[in-house]
Amino acid sequence: MALQYAKFYAFLQAALRTLRFLSRFTWRRWLIVYAAIGLFASSPLISVLVASILASAFGCGTVNEASVPDCPGGELVSILFIAGWLALVTIPVGFLLFVAAFGLTLLWLLQAAVLRQAQKRGYTGNTSR
């Protein structure tokens, strides 16, 4: 049984060796990655929210894509409002990035679990017998 486990562990380590950069990650880094993906995906929506707040603060009235509002800061409000259309790109790309990061997180957890089990069983990594 121990030899089978050693062979399986050696196979799994060889498969995960290409993802060696995962060993440097910690939970804090994963949280930073997920926060960056969320910020990237929601940035156009935040831009529209800021444009609406600025438009009401400057007294611009209604803001649309057709014309620049006639108020102080109207061009900035218009640019921020139009930037909301980038959500058509950033939300799907953010979803794909989230799926990729989630898959890498699962591989990281698998690698950590295999290493923990190997250390618990006293496996040193030497498969030659």
> What is the residue-level pLDDT of the chain in tens, covering all 129 positions?
566 667 777 776 676 665 666 666 778 888 999 999 999 999 999 999 999 999 999 888 888 888 888 888 889 999 999 999 999 999 999 999 999 999 988 888 887 777 777 777 776 555 554
Return the pLDDT at 73: 86
Return the pLDDT at 34: 95
pTM comes to: 0.70
C-alpha 18/C-alpha 71 separation (Å) is 57
* Gyration radius of the chain's alpha carbons: 25
Return the pLDDT at 62: 83
CA 27 to chain centre: 13
For residues 129 and 3, the answer to whether their CB atoms sit within 8 Å is: yes
